[in-house]
Amino acid sequence: MKIGTREIGKGNPAYIIAEMSANHVGDIVRAKEIIHAAKEAGADCVKIQTYTPDTLTIDCDNSYFHISDGTWNGENLYQLYQKAYTPWEWQGELFEEAKKAGIDFFSTPFDNTSVDFLEEIGIEFYKIASFELVDIPLIEYVASKGKPMIMSTGMATLAEIDEAVAAVRNQGNDNFALLQCASAYPAITDEMNLKTMQNMGETFGVPFGLSDHSMGSVGAVTAVALGASIIEKHFCIDRSIENPDSSFSMNPAEFKQMVADIRQAEKAIGCVKYGPSEQEKKNLQFRRSVFCVKDIKKGEKLTEDNIRIIRPEYGLQPKYFKEVLGQTAITDIKRGTPLAFEMIGRE
């Protein structure tokens, strides 16, 4: 997958997304602050969401539209989205702010009108949210724009993911990635099943990653160790600024530490390499070798009493020990001398 000039996939650093979502709390100044804080924390990209309450649901108060448990227990869907949405009139300005900050910027559209709007402001790639993975008409419309796409797969069966992937590819778009996701807020690491992420990549032949709603960075770092090319985390200035997403968002210090841990994990993964590393080379001297452990006179035979395999490594390699036993010293050898072939011979 390619986003702009950035290659996403095996052999490249993980692409790290800071999800703003509702953490702006209705304040464009804070939204801009989040963009710059995300850049400072090491994010590659800031993501927003493009919807209004009316593009997601209807203003209805019957039981179908009420949340009865979890983080948003007691909320009415329409009222929740009213609190959480990012005003469309901000979004072009936020896009420009991201350009100034030197960080990528994209959005999750939730209906065709939001796609049309994002096309107008020049958004260069798209996200499909887990809950919209079953909205095949929306996926087809987004894919028809021919731009890179990232699709989250929370709750989805393999068959549902297959349908979504087919919808993208049927539009001639093969520039996309899939994210494993636990659609719980916050999610628990016990139920991440990160091996599914790897299997998705193998099954569909695309880059894969993790949209992580858990607290902490264990899931994200582990995902990268398992081959994730994309990590997405909710990002806020301060969790004490309450909003629908604050309770499961990372603050700048936490996000920065996560990025550092991911980058260190990538270095630790490294490549296939045998033999001593640069750091290890200076310690080769502490390997074992064959040393004379008693004074040996010229003409005296080598025995297990006067030579031993000990540290350090200046003498013959241990594999020659049995070969030299019984051979004769051709010169006097002092105790503590590393044994060399030039010192011995056969009668």
The tens digit of pLDDT for each residue in 16-61 reads 999 999 899 999 999 999 999 999 999 999 999 999 999 999 999 9
C-beta of residue 110 within 8 angstroms of C-beta of residue 49? yes
Percent of the chain beyond pLDDT 70? Answer: 100
3-class DSSP state of 339: coil
CB atoms within 10 A of CB 138: 21
Banded pLDDT at 280 (limits 50, 70, 90): very high
Banded pLDDT at 247 (limits 50, 70, 90): confident
CA angle, corner 332, sides to 328 and 335, nearest 5? 100
78 pLDDT more than 70: yes
Round to whole Å and give the CA distance between 231 and 341.
58
The class (CATH top level) of 279-345 is alpha beta
HEC letters along 135-169: CHHHHHHHHCCCCCEEEECCCCCHHHHHHHHHHHH
Instruction: Write the single-letter amino acid at 118.
Output: L
Mean pLDDT of the 235-253 span: 90
- Amino acid 103: pLDDT: 97
CB atoms within 10 A of CB 55: 16
Cis peptide before 137 (omega within 30 of 0): no
228 Cβ contact partners less than 8 Å away, ≥ 6 residues apart: 14, 197, 208, 209, 210, 220
- Amino acid 211: pLDDT: 95
- Amino acid 146: pLDDT: 97
Q: Nearest Cα to 334, choosing from 306, 309, 312?
A: 306
248 pLDDT more than 90: no
Domain spanning 8-269: CATH 3.20.20.70: yes
Round to whole Å and give the CA distance between 258 and 196.
22
347 pLDDT more than 70: no
Beta-strand pair 289-292/307-310: antiparallel
Cis peptide before 186 (omega within 30 of 0): yes
Give me the helix-helix angle, 28-40 and 252-269, nearest 10°: 30
Domain ranges of the chain: 8-269, 279-345
Helix or strand holding residue 208 (H, E): strand 208-212
308 pLDDT more than 70: yes
Round to whole Å and give the CA distance between 98 and 338.
65
The rounded mean pLDDT for the chain is 95
Q: Is the dihedral of CA 195, 4, 43, 17 positive or negative?
A: negative
